[in-house]
Amino acid sequence: MLLRDQNLRDLPGPLADIATEHRIAARVLALIDQQVGVLENRRRPDLRLLREALHFFVNVLDRVHHPREDLIFERIQGRGNGGADEEMNRFRVDHEELRLSGLALLDQIHKLKLAARGAERKALGQDLAAYSASMRHHMRMEETRIYEPARSLLSDSDWWDIENRLASLPQPICGLDQAPEYRWLLDRYLNEVAVVSVGKLPFAWIDRVASSVERAVHTGAAVSRLPSRILRLAGRSSRHMARTVLAVRSIPTAIAACEAVSAECVTEGRAAYVLLRDSVRATAAFESLPGSGGEGQGIRTLRSEADLLGFGESPAARAGKASVSWQAACASLVFRAVLKPLLAGPALRLAAMPYLRTPAKAPRGFQVVPVEQAGFVGRRIQPLQGAAASRTILYLPGGAFIFPAFSGHLYVLAYLSRKCEAQGLLVDYRLAPQHPFPASLDDALAAYCYLLDTGVEPQDIVVAGDSAGGGLALSLLLALRDRKLPLPAGAACFSPFTDLSLSSPSLRFNRWRDALLPTSSTLAEALRLYAGDYPPDHPLISPVYSELGGLPPLFLQVSSSEILLDDTLRVSRKARAQGVEVQVEVWDSLPHAWQVFSYIPESRAALRRTAEFLARQLKLSGTRSGTDQLIRPN
């Protein structure tokens, strides 16, 4: 196994840094390979991408990467045989040769821009292909012949000394403070996602009309309430000014009182203007929360839907082309008209509704066995026929941390379990407000440890979750990593809630496009109940604020019209920047967590792709064949 394919937690710090940089280099080489294919077809390549990629190899490797390697070379020099020392000297020569080759290619690209003939493009493609192959061979040889033996040759004190000497080196790529000159390239490869559209009904114009109607209704209601709000504000101000004037006892006091009254009038006038402005704009209730402006995050976020152009063909760029099934279109319209206004009501009163506490029925062909342990309560889902496999999918259902799991979550788990030939364990974690953070995370940890205690190997476990459960799944991985417990083989998250400080820009620019989730005070109330005494940007409450290095492979799905779109994209680019393998899919114009709604064809398609990812992580040759209909209740 190559160094960069190993778990970074198992490597000494300096080797983990080098492995991370090799992973990033491999991704940049993949971008160069794509452009080689363009050049082979005699088409014009993306010259900026090629320049930035070669600039990365020529400059970053010499400034940061090679000095790291030289420290390790120095430390192991003389500890092996003479052949090993000679090989290290050869690698140093290779560094210089690759740097000169990169500079020559940069010059060649500049000339191509001035005279882009077909023969020159073909020659550039051949030279780039040779450079890419040489770089891959060089990294592979370094990892197998130098770094892998170094793990046994060097002691802990050696690695500690190397790490101390490396502390002064900059980290323009892997660190959070990325160098501006590499921002474009990093955004290009970090934000590259698959935009998925599998339906046939053009939904873009219907979505725009429905969004406009919802916004007009909301704004009209806010403006109609404005006079009464201003009257209450003016009445309160008048009473205050009257008390101030009646308290006057001298001329200086009277002058001061008049100045105070004038200032009060100006202040109240400004307050009335703000009320009017916010009503017309229909400002979200949570925008006044601390940290909602996204200040000081150190993470580049989306500002508008147009920013999707940075990592793929965006729905905005394909206006009128986004297609969904007629079932998904009908569901979106019904959700917008019925469920979204309902969810905008008081969170606690809604969570207490009796129908939400109705036990979910077992999916057809499966049995649901209650699991009650000292640390958690859950439900194990197993097929009625056939022995249960040792492979297990640990599922954390969504529900804004205040709603319990419902039948849709069982259907999703049953589908994934059948496709991956695994058993499922759904965790009914404790809910707010009775049990705020960290109760839910403690339950998830207890469930994972229960699987380990029953003999399930970590490589036979995958974690999945939707919405709040998706964010909790990421928090579980972080908690396992920090506690140095064995990590599962991978995780799949559907529209994960990763930023409970409500600072993701998509909460604003997708406010009217989201067919299910409102940006009313209900959302902020539910999150305050869950966070309890902890700040909303706590790393285990909002995973986007955590260090994500060392996590297993992640598979993320989100809809382009969700208010949680940026929650997914921000955590994915940060995880990739820190060496995590992440696959992201943005599905066009679907409701939040559409995977749990079995009557939507896109649900089956999304779960099928998720099952393929989970099967790869569980080392299966493929997903189980058979009917693709989502499992129905009895």
Residue numbers annotated as active site:
467, 562
Backbone angles phi and psi of 363, in degrees to 5: -60, 150
Burial of 348 (0-12, 13-18, 19+ CB in 10 A): middle
What tokens appear for 543 in the block?
């995973």
Q: Edge-to-edge, what's the strand order for the sheet holding 461-466?
A: 194-196, 582-587, 554-559, 490-494, 461-466, 392-396, 423-427, 377-383, 366-372
Contacts of range 59-63, beta carbons closer than 8 Å, 24 or more positions apart: 60/172, 60/173, 60/182, 61/25, 61/95, 61/98, 61/99, 62/95, 62/99, 63/170, 63/172
d(CA 53, CA 58) in angstroms, rounded, equals: 9
Going by C-alpha positions, the residue among 593, 424, 408, 416 that lies closest to residue 493 is: 593
DSSP alpha helices (H): ranges in 335-484?
A: 340-343, 347-351, 407-419, 439-453, 468-482
Helix (H) or strand (E) holding 584: strand 582-587
DSSP states along 167-211: TTS--TTTSSS--GGGHHHHHHHHS--EEE----EE-HHHHHHHH
Q: CA-based Rg of the chain, rounded to a whole angstrom?
A: 28
What tokens appear for 80 in the block?
């092996």
Residue type, 131: Y
DSSP states along 121-167: HHHHHHHHHHHHHHHHHHHHHHIIIIIHHHHHHS-HHHHHHHHHHHT
